[in-house]
Amino acid sequence: MNARVFGYPLARIYPLYVQKVERKGRTTEELDEVIEWLTGFDEEQLRAHLRDGSTLEEFFADATLHPNASLITGVICGMRVEEIEDPLMQRIRYLDKLVDELAKGRKMDKILREPARTA
């Protein structure tokens, strides 16, 4: 199953993410911000991966995961993301978890795991 998921084109999954967040009143720009935060890509790089048909495996192979990505915890698809052993599957589920949080209306600073600011 993992090998099949790894071969999915990002361009096939991205519109589903867009639909999910827009149904809940969030924007494509917010979705892109979340993806760019996780992967280290800028907008141009994200668009290139979508345009070029990169698979999830290729997409995450090129990504530089955010240093705070390990702070993403919780259950997605019945699994705790922090306990997923396969690094690629964990990265895919990190993205799924962030998209879920966005769609559920969580504040962006919480989604992006920004440290609390002191006064």
**What pLDDT is recorded for position 65?**
96
pLDDT band at 119 (very low <50, low <70, confident <90, very high): low
**What pLDDT is recorded for position 62?**
97
Alpha helices in the chain (DSSP H): 2-6, 10-23, 28-39, 43-52, 56-62, 87-103, 108-111
Decide if pLDDT at 52 tops 60. yes
Q: Domain 2-111 adopts which CATH fold?
A: Helicase, Ruva Protein; domain 3 (1.10.8)
Domain boundaries, the chain: 2-111
Crossing angle of the two packed helices 28-39 and 87-103, in degrees rounded to 10:
150
User: What's the average model confidence in pLDDT over 1-14?
Assistant: 89
- Residues 57-112: pLDDT tens digits? 999 999 999 999 999 999 998 889 999 999 999 999 999 999 999 999 999 999 99
Tell me the three-class secondary structure of 16-39, residue by residue. HHHHHHHHCCCCHHHHHHHHHHHH
- Residues 10-43: pLDDT tens digits? 999 999 999 999 999 999 999 999 999 999 999 9
**What pLDDT is recorded for position 114?**
79
